[in-house]
Amino acid sequence: MTDIDFAALVRLIRQSRGQTQEELARDLDVTVGTMNGWENGKHRPVKAQRRRLVTMAEELGLAVPGADRNRAGGR
């Protein structure tokens, strides 16, 4: 899970759901500033949020950016 591009993943999830940063932040119970930091690559989600984002992407049928590099070693 270390090679995943979480900035791209957050943006992909948000756009796929047709949400603003504020709306997705509310769904994930984080601040808009946190969401903005994730999406702009300034901050990285904590482990529990990383797992949640990957699960959300998988449930939406989205390819997780960088996840293919992690499959061989497992999550």
DSSP string, the chain: -TT--HHHHHHHHHHHTT--HHHHHHHHT--HHHHHHHHTTSS---HHHHHHHHHHHHHTT---TTGGGTGGG--
At 7-66, the pLDDT tens digits run: 999 999 999 999 999 999 999 999 999 999 999 999 999 999 999 999 999 999 999 988
pTM assigned to the model: 0.83
**Euclidean distance between CA atoms 36 and 25, whole angstroms:** 9
On the CB side of 73, CA atoms within 13 Å amount to 7
All domains in the chain, ordered by first residue? 6-61 (1.10.260.40)
